[in-house]
Amino acid sequence: MTSKAEAMTARPAKPDEPRLPKPIVRATSGSLSEGPWTIEFGSGITARVRINREDRSIYPSKRYDWKLRGVGMSAHGHCFSWSSTYLQLWCRASKARPLPGLELSTFELRRQVERVERGDAKETVSVLRELLRRRTGFAWSVRRGRGSSSEFVTVAAVPSRRVRGAMTPHDAALLAGVLGEDLVNPRGVRVEPDGAARASVVRAIAGSPATSITRSA
């Protein structure tokens, strides 16, 4: 049975900025983790991704082979990460910068950083939720933990965009890119409860360089 997951990841376009496509991923094997996958970007552009189970000579883990086709264009290649492969295909298909920064003023960035450095987890949730919405153009689930983990904050796609409790590969890739990480766990990312870690996340979402301070949920 074919399963579908739509990653609604288009950032609202400015008058002078092209609108990014909204990819639709179809897991033709019936499994989002095993593929092969067909990615439709609109405008006649389609990508096909499959796991190469034969070639283990270069790297001892899964290798993903991909082909991109469209009107007057074609490309192919391979990668060892499904999420980064997906993001790479999206960049090629959209021919637009996928993750523009927020262009916050120095004053506003400092104000947001101070809010998470001095505030509690509740304040951090409010700041991160708003900045993620502004950066990507759609909502994210940003929640504080419970009990002894109440000062930790977990970030993931909202439940309506999850498949069997996990983010789609594209949402995971997009979140990784926004946070300055190579990969994130599809179940979500947990932010450490100290002010420096929270401030680094704010800077990353704003488009400023950040160190790796997140961990899988």
Q: Looking at 73, 94, 115, which one is the last position of a domain? A: 94
pLDDT string in tens for the chain (217-residue length): 444 444 434 444 444 444 445 667 776 766 666 778 888 876 678 888 888 877 655 545 678 888 988 877 788 888 877 777 777 787 777 654 456 778 889 999 999 999 999 989 999 999 999 999 998 887 999 999 989 889 999 999 999 888 788 887 778 878 888 888 877 888 999 999 989 999 999 999 998 754 444 445 5
Domain that includes residue 35, residue range:
3-94
Q: Looking at 68, 94, 120, which one is the last position of a domain? A: 94
DSSP code per residue over the chain? --EEEE---PPPPPTTSPPPP--EEEETTS-TTT--EEEEEETTEEEEEEEESS--SS-SS-EEEEEEEETTEEEEEEES-HHHHHHHHHHHHHTS-S-------HHHHHHHHHHHHHS-HHHHHHHHHHHHHHHHSS-EEEEE--GGGTT-EEEEE-GGGEETTEE-HHHHHHHHHHHT-S---TT-EEE-SSHHHHHHHHHHHHT------EEE-
User: Is residue 65 located within the same domain as residue 20?
Assistant: yes
Q: Looking at 72, 94, 116, which one is the last position of a domain? A: 94
State how many domains the chain has.
Answer: 2
Which pTM was predicted? Answer: 0.62
| pLDDT value of residue 184 | 85
Does residue 89 form part of some domain? yes
